[in-house]
């Protein structure tokens, strides 16, 4: 079973760049997208054999998530419990008989960390939510989590230390989550691989020079690692400042 996650940085924009043709090449059971940047009715996008579940932000042209899936869920939940102002369309949870799939577009701490307090509230709420789900059945958690966990996860770690996405506080929250019974699947397979990034600034030829950050993840309950057969970063897929990441599980 194949899962794909991608921050498209505007779904209407990537559709104009050939997303529909690209979608077929993914050959995934689940395609989770973040930062769709649209409201209900602003796009007519469907794929044969897939159903879709959308979460829109109240603010126009901002945030938003969607999951395309070949598999009928038992239940669908939108949003994150216990977070103030959870109106940004950031989380979708699909329940299946033997796991939960959660896709997320984590809030950015923003310049000078001005939204860090909200980010910390979000991280705590998300961790408690995932732990609660994990008590019932294993969890597959994916999306743009807006943090490079370790120095290996970005090109210029020293100059970016303390910046949004690489602050000590955000990194510690990721460590705490993983210590709560979850595994970063890419590092499970490639613990020492350098130069593996999923986001590049549009400035300074960052993508051409591979001056990037790994901030897009598939994280699973520890007890799912035995079923994890592959995790990949599709850095050759263009159309956004992010590229897709994938997870493959055995049945």
- Mapped onto helix, strand or coil, the DSSP state of residue 131 is helix
Residue 233: strand pairing partners: 245
Q: Enumerate the H helices of 57-156 as residue ranges.
A: 116-136
| DSSP labels, 105-127 | EPPP--GGGTTHHHHHHHHHHHH
* Beta carbons of 166 and 178 less than 8 angstroms apart: no
Rg (CA), the chain: 17
- Residues with catalytic annotation? 105, 144
Cβ(216)–Cβ(246) under 8 Å? no
Q: Are 216 and 144 in contact (CB under 8 A)?
A: yes
Asked if residues 241 and 197 have their Cβ atoms less than 8 Å apart, the reply is no
């Amino acid at each position: 079973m194949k899962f794909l996650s991608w921050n498209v940085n505007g779904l209407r924009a990537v559709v104009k760049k050939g997303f529909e043709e690209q979608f077929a090449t993914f050959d995934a059971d689940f395609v989770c997208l973040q930062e769709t940047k649209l409201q209900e009715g602003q796009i007519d996008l469907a794929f044969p054999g897939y159903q879709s579940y959308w979460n829109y932000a109240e603010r126009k042209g901002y945030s938003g998530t969607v999951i395309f899936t070949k598999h009928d869920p038992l239940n669908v939940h939108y949003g994150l419990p216990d977070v103030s102002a959870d109106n940004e369309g950031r989380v979708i949870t699909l329940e299946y008989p033997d796991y939960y799939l959660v896709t997320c577009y984590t809030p950015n701490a923003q310049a000078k960390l001005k939204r860090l307090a909200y980010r910390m509230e979000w991280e705590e709420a998300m961790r408690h939510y995932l732990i609660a789900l994990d008590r019932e059945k294993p969890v597959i958690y994916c999306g743009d989590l807006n943090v490079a966990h370790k120095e290996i996860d970005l090109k210029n770690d020293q100059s970016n230390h303390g910046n949004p996405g690489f602050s000590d506080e955000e990194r510690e929250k990721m460590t705490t989550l993983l210590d709560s019974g979850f595994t970063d699947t890419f590092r499970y397979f490639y613990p020492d691989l350098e130069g593996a990034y999923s986001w590049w600034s549009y400035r300074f030829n960052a993508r051409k020079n591979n001056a990037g950050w790994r901030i897009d993840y598939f994280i699973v309950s520890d007890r799912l690692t035995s079923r994890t057969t592959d995790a990949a970063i599709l850095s050759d897929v263009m159309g956004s400042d992010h590229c897709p990441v994938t997870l493959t599980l055995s049945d």
